[in-house]
Amino acid sequence: MPDIPEIPSEISELGARVSAVLAQVESAESSDELTAILSAATGKTGPITVARKAMSQVDPTHRKSVGMRVQDAKTTIETAVEARRVGLGAAERTARVQAERMDLTEVVGTPTAGHIHPLTQAWEDLEDAFIGMGFTVAEGPHVETDWYNFDALNIPKGHPARDGFDSLYVNNGEEGSTVLRTHTSPVQIRTMQAQEPPIYIIAPGRVFRRDTADATHLPVFHQIEGLVIDKGIGLAHLAGTIEKFTQAFFGEEFHSRLRPNYFPFTEPSAEFDIQRPDGSWLELGGSGVVHPNVLRAGGIDPEEWSGFAFGFGIDRFLQIKHGVTDLREAFTNDIRFLEQF
Ligand code: DAH
């Protein structure tokens, strides 16, 4: 009887070992786990490698077919790992999408309709009051030339009033030639250039100054400008218009007064205050009879036409009207604050 060499266990048990690996592959839960299974199966002490090493003990006539079986075993494991990896990728993606999914039907609390911002409300109420008095609304750009913001308003270069404005300059053209408008007054000039008198306009809008924000100041705030140009207009018309506005906006029990002051763009100039029903006075803004130089800058002949102008802050209105102690709160967009108005 010829001596039949024993088949080494590394080879005879290869089929069972591969099946065990395939079972692990099937139950693997992540791509990392699959990588570990594959390197264990094909590594130094894994079933594939040990079977290959054992081939030296196999009868040379059978080596070729045994070698093919070992190679097939390796391919089987690799194919199963790849298939499982693809399946897991899809499952992982599905899980991630599921986890990140937003429930758009979810409602937190009771949904409420929004409302316009209290500043916009004040802005629109002011517009309404002046429109009711026959004014129209004018606009101008936020980024201005220093000519419109200063020179044309009788504030030439070197004038001390320029320093008082704490301007924010824009890096454009010659240094100091472009500025974020520090007040709404340049709209006076733009309007005079754009339309023939008589002019009755208001110009509400955003203005900018190099101010550190505190309870009553913000570097970005809002003003409303007024300009009237007509024949024979003087201080009495200004006083009458301010009084009429005060009563229309605040109520019949409110009154106004003018107090002498100085502004480069008006002569004479006045601060205007309003009196509350309790008798207390509140400083509101600046005003005056338009300076002849300003009329000329706007292309209007001061011999033929005259006018008055005024300007005041809108944010302050909001503060007074609603008793807002810290103005910064009005612009952080915290719904708990805004909901109160
Ligand atoms: N532009 C001034 C400022 O920002 C306010 C002002 C004062 C406007 C007098 C006017 C005016 O039109 O006549 O402080």
More confident call, 263 vs 335: 263
Are residues 123 and 163 located together in one domain of the fold? yes
Is the CB of residue 286 below 6 angstroms from any atom belonging to ligand 1? yes
Residue 255 parent element (H or E): strand 255-263
For residue 3, tell me if it sits in a domain.
no
Are residues 156 and 199 located together in one domain of the fold? yes
Domain that holds residue 84: 9-100
Is the CB of residue 241 below 6 angstroms from any atom belonging to ligand 1? no
Q: What 3-state DSSP class applies to 256?
A: strand
Question: What is the pLDDT, as a whole number, of residue 165?
Answer: 87
Residue owning the nearest CA to atom 4 of ligand 1: 183
Residue 2 has pLDDT above 70, yes or no: no
Cα–Cα distances in angstroms (integers) from residue 66 to residues 3, 6, 15, 77, 290, in the given order: 19, 14, 12, 17, 108
Is the CB of residue 311 below 6 angstroms from any atom belonging to ligand 1? yes
Are residues 48 and 124 located together in one domain of the fold? no
C-alpha of residue 233 to centroid of ligand 1, in Å: 18
C-alpha of residue 27 to centroid of ligand 1, in Å: 79
Atom number of ligand 1 nearest to Cα 184: 1
Question: What is the pLDDT, as a whole number, of residue 107?
Answer: 65
Is the CB of residue 287 below 6 angstroms from any atom belonging to ligand 1? yes
Is the CB of residue 309 below 6 angstroms from any atom belonging to ligand 1? yes
118: tokens are: 């209290």
Average confidence (pLDDT) over 251-267: 96
**HSE-CB for 25 with a 13 A CA cutoff:** 23
Question: What is the pLDDT, as a whole number, of residue 111?
Answer: 67
For residue 51, tell me if it sits in a domain.
yes
pLDDT tens for each residue of 75-116: 899 989 999 999 888 888 888 888 888 777 766 677 677 889
Residue type, 134: G
Question: What is the pLDDT, as a whole number, of residue 3?
Answer: 56
C-alpha of residue 182 to centroid of ligand 1, in Å: 10
Question: What is the pLDDT, as a whole number, of residue 172?
Answer: 95
Reduce the secondary structure of 13-62 to three states and give it as a string: CHHHHHHHHHHHHHHCCCHHHHHHHHHHHHCCCCHHHHHHHHHHHCCHHH
Are residues 197 and 232 located together in one domain of the fold? yes
Question: What is the pLDDT, as a whole number, of residue 62?
Answer: 83
Are residues 282 and 214 located together in one domain of the fold? yes
Mutate to test the pocket of ligand 1, among 144, 237, 263, 290 (most ligand atoms within 8 A of CB): 263
For residue 2, tell me if it sits in a domain.
no
For residue 109, tell me if it sits in a domain.
no
Is the CB of residue 308 below 6 angstroms from any atom belonging to ligand 1? no
For residue 289, tell me if it sits in a domain.
yes
Average confidence (pLDDT) over 30-43: 89
74-88, 167-181, 252-266, 287-301, range with the lowest pLDDT: 74-88
Are residues 85 and 144 located together in one domain of the fold? no
Name the pLDDT band for 339 (thresholds 50, 70, 90): confident
C-alpha of residue 270 to centroid of ligand 1, in Å: 10
C-alpha of residue 188 to centroid of ligand 1, in Å: 10
C-alpha of residue 305 to centroid of ligand 1, in Å: 20
Is the CB of residue 266 below 6 angstroms from any atom belonging to ligand 1? yes
Sign of CA dihedral 171, 172, 173, 179: negative
Question: What is the pLDDT, as a whole number, of residue 42?
Answer: 87
Question: What is the pLDDT, as a whole number, of residue 108?
Answer: 67
Atom number of ligand 1 nearest to Cα 287: 13
Are residues 307 and 241 located together in one domain of the fold? yes
For residue 168, tell me if it sits in a domain.
yes
Name the pLDDT band for 5 (thresholds 50, 70, 90): low
249: tokens are: 């906006």
Average confidence (pLDDT) over 319-325: 84
For residues 50 and 10, the answer to whether their CB atoms sit within 8 Å is yes
Number of structural domains (the chain) is 2
Residue 10 has pLDDT above 60, yes or no: yes
d(CA 28, CA 50): 24
Say what percent of the chain tops pLDDT 90.
58
CATH number of the domain enclosing 219: 3.30.930.10
Residue owning the nearest CA to atom 13 of ligand 1: 287
C-alpha of residue 185 to centroid of ligand 1, in Å: 6
Are residues 95 and 232 located together in one domain of the fold? no
C-alpha of residue 262 to centroid of ligand 1, in Å: 10
Question: What is the pLDDT, as a whole number, of residue 340?
Answer: 87
pLDDT tens for each residue of 61-86: 888 888 888 889 998 999 899 999 99
Are residues 159 and 43 located together in one domain of the fold? no
pTM for the full predicted model: 0.69
Atom number of ligand 1 nearest to Cα 182: 4
For residues 50 and 44, the answer to whether their CB atoms sit within 8 Å is no
4: left (phi over 0), alpha (psi -120 to 50) or beta: beta
**Averaged pLDDT of the chain:** 91
